């Protein structure tokens, strides 16, 4: 018979096991469903640019392109250096009677090992030209990185400013909705007292509905602008982002002429075309190398035998080879003329790029200056519209003003504030475009 202790012990064990299998799933479920607090990422313009430079695929592409041209330059330099080739050959062939001085064919076996050293002493300027071209291609690739960074910064800053624009417009639309709601309440109170007609209530409701539609549109634009900014930074589109900065305004320190001069000296695309013109001129020298001799030095050491591995017999060779193209049916002349025309084509594209860049600098500077003047005038308009709304509210409350006058005052304030926001947006956006057009470096 089992003792009472053993029976109770077994009962306890089973009970604890049952509790275990009940409690553990509950604990796991609570762990899964407990709320996760999502904290918004707070970013300044500089933070956004830094993230984009780290994550953006255009920058990664430009970096890989730079590495590619770096190793292409290394390859071009190595082509002018010493090359060593090791060759092992196994041969078995049928030797005719005339070579063996017998009446029958005989099979011959040969194993050969050769080391050949080749050094180009003179290529007519072809190899030297290709080396210089490879250096210029690397310079163009490095300037491509600078241009890509500047363009990316412009994209991120513009996206950031667009988010600010819609954020501020959401605030303005919310204020307008609040103004219309307060006005509608006032109109309803007056209507209940029999002081105004039903049409005043209806027109106020229509104005409120329009303001609510504008608010919904602005909120949607704000959400899309955040997604666009996240995309430029390489973040998930739904990332919750809070912007640290707001619109700023300060008179631009440089004159238009100073901006134009800076662009000519620093814009990476113009420096790229200088390198491309130099590269095209090397194409002319490379084409002309077809008229010049080439000189190669070759040293060979050979071991051969009829038995593997073929090392019984030894022979060496030292050879200096000079080659000159005497006649090629005009191929070289055609290549030289093509190269000269290519130089002219690159120069024309360079001048076109220069004119486009200087035109952009001029346009962005003048647009920035225009927005700068609008900032002051729109700021005054906002102050006047706020004062007008206060007056119209007071007039309507005492029964002097009309419903239409008050609704117009609300609409005028809404328009004035949005014009002020637009002027700040235009100023900062054109300032960013101007700095990109000037070629300001990205830190």
| 34-66: pLDDT as tens digits | 433 356 788 999 999 999 999 988 999 999 999
Can you give the pLDDT at residue 50?
A: 94
The reported pLDDT for the residue numbered 21 is 47
State the pLDDT at residue 99: 64
d(CA 129, CA 126): 5
353 burial class (0-12, 13-18, 19+ CB within 10 angstroms)? middle
408 with 141: CB under 8 angstroms?
A: no
* 53 located within any domain: no
With 70 as the cut, is the pLDDT of residue 421 above it? yes
Comparing CA positions, the residue from 390, 388, 370, 392 lying closest to residue 380 is 388
Residue 169 has pLDDT above 90, yes or no: yes
Report the pLDDT value the prediction gives residue 10, as an integer from 0 to 100.
46
Q: Residue 318's domain spans which residues?
A: 58-162+244-438
Give me the pLDDT at residue 100, please. Answer: 62
% of the chain exceeding 90 in pLDDT: 76
How many helices (H) and strands (E) would you count in the chain? Answer: 10, 6
Rounded mean pLDDT, 421-443: 95
Contact 344/389 with Cβ under 8 angstroms? no
Region 212-230: mean pLDDT is 96
- Reported as a pLDDT band with limits 50, 70 and 90, residue 33 is very low
The contacts of residue 397 (CB under 8 Å, 6+ apart) are 186
Q: Tell me the pLDDT band of 20, cut-offs 50, 70 and 90.
A: very low
Q: Is residue 250 part of a domain?
A: yes
In contact, 169 and 211? CB cutoff 8 Å: no
Query: Looking at the domain assignment, is residue 151 inside a domain?
Result: yes
pLDDT in tens, 270-295: 999 999 999 999 999 999 999 999 99
pLDDT digit string (tens) for 89-147? 999 888 777 666 677 777 888 999 999 999 999 999 999 999 999 999 999 999 999 99
Would the pLDDT of 348 be above 80? yes
Distance of alpha carbon 323 from alpha carbon 121, whole angstroms: 12
Cα-flanking dihedrals φ and ψ of residue 309, to 5°?
-90, 0
- β partners of residue 118: 83, 298
Q: Say if residue 322's pLDDT is above 90.
A: yes
Is residue 238 one of the residues assigned to a domain? no
Q: Is the pLDDT of residue 221 over 60?
A: yes
pLDDT at 106: 78
27 domain-assigned: no
Residue 186 within any structural domain of the chain:
no
Average pLDDT, integer, range 390-400: 90
β-pair partners for 42: 242
**Residue 419, CA distances (Å) to 171, 188, 385 in order:** 14, 31, 12
Give the count of domains, the chain. 1
- Rounded to the nearest integer, the mean pLDDT of the chain is 89
Rounded to whole angstroms, the Cα distance separating 128 from 320 reads 20
Here the CATH number for the domain that contains residue 357 is 1.20.1600.10
Percent of the chain with pLDDT over 70: 90
- pLDDT, residue 324, reads 93
pLDDT of residue 14: 52
Exposed/middle/buried for residue 223 (C-beta within 10 Å: 0-12, 13-18, 19+): middle
Asked whether residue 81 is domain-assigned, the answer is yes
With a CB cutoff of 8 Å and minimum separation 6, the contacts of 436 are: 150, 151, 153, 154
Q: What is the pLDDT of residue 13?
A: 47
Place of tokens 């004159």: 255
CA distances from 398 to 149, 180, 232, 259, 391 (A): 61, 18, 54, 57, 11
Residue 60 half-sphere exposure toward CB, CA atoms < 13 A = 8
Q: Does residue 25 lie in a domain region? A: no
pLDDT tier, 309 (very low <50, low <70, confident <90, very high otherwise): confident
Given a cut of 60, whether residue 174 has pLDDT beyond it is yes
- What is the per-residue DSSP string for 358-422? HHHHHHHHHHHHHHHHHHHHHHHHHHHHHHHHHHHHHHHHTT-S-HHHHHHHHHHHHHHHHHHHH
């Amino acid at each position: 018979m089992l003792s009472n202790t053993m029976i109770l012990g077994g009962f306890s064990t089973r009970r604890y096991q049952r509790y275990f299998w009940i409690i553990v799933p509950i604990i796991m479920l609570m762990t899964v469903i407990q709320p996760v607090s999502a904290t918004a990422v707070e970013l300044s313009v500089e933070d956004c640019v830094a993230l984009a430079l780290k994550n953006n695929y255009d920058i990664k592409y430009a970096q890989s392109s730079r590495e590619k041209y770096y190793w292409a330059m290394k390859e071009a330099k190595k082509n002018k250096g010493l090359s060593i080739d090791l060759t092992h050959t196994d041969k078995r062939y049928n030797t005719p009677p005339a070579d063996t001085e017998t009446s029958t064919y005989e099979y011959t076996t040969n194993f050969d090992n050769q080391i050949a050293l080749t050094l180009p002493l003179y290529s007519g300027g072809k190899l030297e030209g290709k080396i210089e071209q490879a250096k210029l291609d690397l310079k163009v690739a490095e300037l491509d990185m600078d241009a890509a960074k500047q363009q990316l910064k412009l994209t991120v800053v513009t996206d950031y400013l667009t988010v600010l624009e819609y954020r501020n417009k959401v605030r303005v639309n919310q204020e307008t909705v609040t103004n219309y709601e307060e006005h509608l309440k006032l109109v309803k109170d007056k209507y209940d007292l029999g002081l105004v007609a039903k049409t005043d209530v209806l027109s106020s409701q229509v104005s409120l509905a329009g303001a609510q539609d504008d608010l919904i549109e602005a909120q949607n634009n704000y959400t899309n602008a955040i997604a666009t900014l996240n995309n430029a930074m390489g973040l998930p589109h739904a990332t919750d982002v809070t912007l640290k900065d707001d619109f700023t305004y300060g008179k631009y320190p440089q004159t238009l002429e100073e901006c134009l001069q800076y662009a000519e000296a620093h814009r990476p695309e113009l420096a790229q075309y200088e390198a491309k013109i130099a590269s095209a001129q090397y194409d002319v020298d490379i084409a002309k190398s077809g008229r010049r001799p080439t000189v190669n030095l070759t040293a060979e050491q050979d071991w051969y035998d009829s038995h593997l591995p073929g090392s019984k017999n030894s022979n060496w060779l030292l050879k200096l080879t000079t080659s000159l193209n005497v006649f090629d049916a005009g191929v070289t002349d055609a290549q030289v003329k093509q190269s000269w025309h290519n130089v002219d084509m690159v120069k024309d594209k360079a001048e076109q790029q220069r004119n486009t860049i200087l035109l952009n600098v001029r346009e962005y500077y003048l647009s920035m200056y225009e927005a700068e003047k609008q900032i002051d005038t729109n700021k005054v308009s906002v102050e006047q519209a706020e004062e007008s709304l206060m007056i119209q509210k007071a007039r309507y409350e005492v029964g002097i003003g009309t419903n239409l006058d008050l609704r117009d005052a609300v609409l005028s304030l809404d328009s004035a504030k949005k014009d002020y926001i637009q002027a700040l947006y235009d100023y900062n956006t054109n300032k960013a475009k101007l700095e990109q057009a000037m070629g300001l470096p990205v830190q």
